Amino acid sequence: MTFSKFSDSNWASWAKILIITALAYAIESLVPALGASMLAILLGMALSAWRPPASTKPAKQISGQLLKIGIVFLGFGLSFAKLQAVGLKVYLVLIPVVAVALLSARYLGRWMGIESRSALLVGMGTAICGGSAIAAAAPIVEAEDSEIAFAITTIFLYNTLALFLFPLLGAWLGYGDQSFGLFAGAAINDTSSVVAAGFAFSEAAGTTATIVKMARTLLIVPVCLGLVVARYQQASAQLADGQGAQVSLWEQARRLFPSFIAYFLLAVLASSLLPLPAWLLDSFKLLARLTMIAALAGVGLAVDLRQLRRAGSQSILLGGLCWALVIATASLSFLLFLRQAAKG
């Protein structure tokens, strides 16, 4: 077995992630100002740049699973009372954000000459929850592997920028903890980056950002159902023309609801309705923290600088333009609807 094969195996990726997690957590314990979340990503990126793997797929798969597990654990730290503090009014910000991201990707992509599926995937990643939204939409629109890779790479780039940019932007704008949490949860693409940026600002901001991001992630359901209906109508039209086979709308829709969101909601339900002991809730909180740090270590390991260079300037430009419009929309909607309620 060669070293390159060893380094790309799943268990080797697990070993790297666990070592980085322990190191980042230990450094944060000694120097609290150095957040473990950001350290984990930086250490992962440094290791990946030092010894570039033949494939980033193992790290991406592991980080994606850890992120979902961490989100479920976070659910035990939430309750209906805490969710009510954000309230349904947060959708006054989230719905315009999602609409602007999808529409700007569609029409800017068409203007730039980008294939419609690629533009849609960039829009999905920007609008809702990064790689998870791209992964959910890709089979519906029958995207090619290269289109998926370019979209995810583009989103990864801006997620990484968000980690460093948003805490500074929040401080410059004078946001309090809840205000920054609302802003970060509405404007940052991927859940891992929302969590990292939120907790880099403060623990309270991180909690609010996570709740808002979960509310935003729920929008993946109606958006993907809309894509399914569109594809079903297209398939029905092809069937009427004697092309293709009948597609079950229910079978397509049944596979869309992300299971980790269902488990997250069950965890919130358990935390709200069951008399769970404090030690158990504290254990879940620690597990959520460690799992998120590990997931972010995997994200850092999965940043492929070579693929970023190959992704093409147009895809990256489209992602940047969509994200800029999302930030502007989130800021404007926040000022119009939520600023007074979110002070502090």
Residue 50 phi/psi, 5-degree rounding, is -70, -45
Q: What is the phi/psi pair of residue 257, to 5°? A: -65, 120
Residue type for position 307: Q
Residue of 29 and 135 predicted with greater confidence: 29
Q: Please, what sign has the CA dihedral across residues 85, 89, 90, 91?
A: positive
Query: Which two tokens mark 287?
Result: 């597990």
Q: Which has the higher per-residue pLDDT, 245 or 53?
A: 53
Q: Confidence band (pLDDT; 50, 70, 90) for 329?
A: very high
pTM of the full predicted structure?
0.68
Evaluate if residue 3 carries a pLDDT over 50. Answer: no
- State pLDDT tens for residues 61-105: 888 788 778 878 877 877 777 667 667 778 888 999 999 999 999
For the segment 124-148, the average pLDDT, to the nearest whole number, is: 78
Q: Say whether 331 sits in a helix, a strand or coil.
A: helix
- Of the listed ranges 4-8, 93-97, 236-240, the least confidently predicted one is 4-8
8 A C-beta contact, residue 322 and residue 108:
yes
pLDDT attached to residue 161:
87
Residue 344: pLDDT over 50: no
**Contact status, residue 56 vs residue 304, Cβ threshold 8 Å:** yes
Q: Which amino acid is at 103?
A: L
Matching residue, tokens 């654990």: 73
> Residue 324: its pLDDT value, please?
94
The overall average pLDDT reported for the chain is 79
- Cα(194)–Cα(192) distance, integer angstroms: 5
Structure tokens at 192: 């891992």
Task: Return d(Cα 220, Cα 180) in angstroms, integer.
Answer: 23
Query: What six digits make up the tokens of 205?
Result: 């901001």
Contact 16, 50 (CB under 8 A): no
Per the CB < 8 A criterion, the answer to whether 180 and 213 are in contact is: no
Q: Is the pLDDT of residue 34 over 90?
A: no
pLDDT band for 338, please (50, 70, 90 cuts).
low
Most confident of 101-115, 187-201, 298-312: 101-115
What single-letter amino acid sits at 91? Y
pLDDT at 293: 86
Q: Report the distance separating Cα 253 and Cα 309, nearest Å.
A: 36
Better pLDDT: 323 or 207? 323
pLDDT tens-digit series, residues 279-314: 998 899 899 889 988 887 887 887 766 665 665 678
Residue 247 has pLDDT above 80, yes or no: no
